[in-house]
Amino acid sequence: MSRSWSKVLACSLILLFIPVAILAQAHPALKYDKANEIKLKGTVTEVREAVGTDPVVLTVKLGGDKTAIVQLAPRDYLKEIDCWIKVGDQVEVTGAKVENSEGQVIAREVVFGNNTMVLRDDKGTPIWELWKPSKSGG
């Protein structure tokens, strides 16, 4: 009897972890690699708002047919620092190119207009990791 329960338990655990493993592969945590740091200039053609802790993502037209997908920071952090980029803005991005991706960049610093948005320190550590949201009092 105990042998059959252990098989049921083992099968249940396998079935539980398969979707988790699939999701982890579909959305791996991207790491900033200073060795892959690049600079690029272009025009923002799309701004995708984030959900939860996912980053806001820009599509930047670089020239010709080339585009870059630029990850910024969580929406709540950008809201807190009151720094918004919009379609049509000219941007200069310093960031790390994501390995095994075409045109995907994790931004460390973005210059647009008279603004400089610093999102990561010189080592690539996200500034928002130490950020605490302000509390709006009523």
* Inside any domain, residue 19: no
- Segment 73-128, tens digit of pLDDT: 998 888 888 888 999 999 999 999 998 888 899 999 999 999 999 999 988 999 98
- The residues, any chain, with a CB within 8 Å of residue 38's CB and separated by 6 or more, are 94, 95, 96, 97, 105
Q: Which residues contact 112 (CB under 8 A, 6 or more apart)?
A: 44, 85, 89, 90, 91, 92
Given a contact cutoff of 8 angstroms between Cβ atoms, the answer to whether 57 and 50 are in contact is: yes
What's the total number of domains in the chain? 1
- Residue 24 maps to a domain: no
Q: Which residue range(s) make up the domain with 115?
A: 34-129
Q: According to the model, what pLDDT value does residue 43 have? A: 97
Which pTM does this prediction carry? 0.73
pLDDT at 67: 95
Query: What average pLDDT does the structure give for the chain?
Result: 79
Token readout for 25 is 């592969």
Amino acid at 113: G
CATH of the domain at 105: 2.40.50.140
Number of C-beta neighbours around residue 44 at 10 A: 19
pLDDT at residue 15 is higher than 50 = no
Q: Is residue 9 part of a domain?
A: no
Establish if 88 belongs to a structural domain: yes
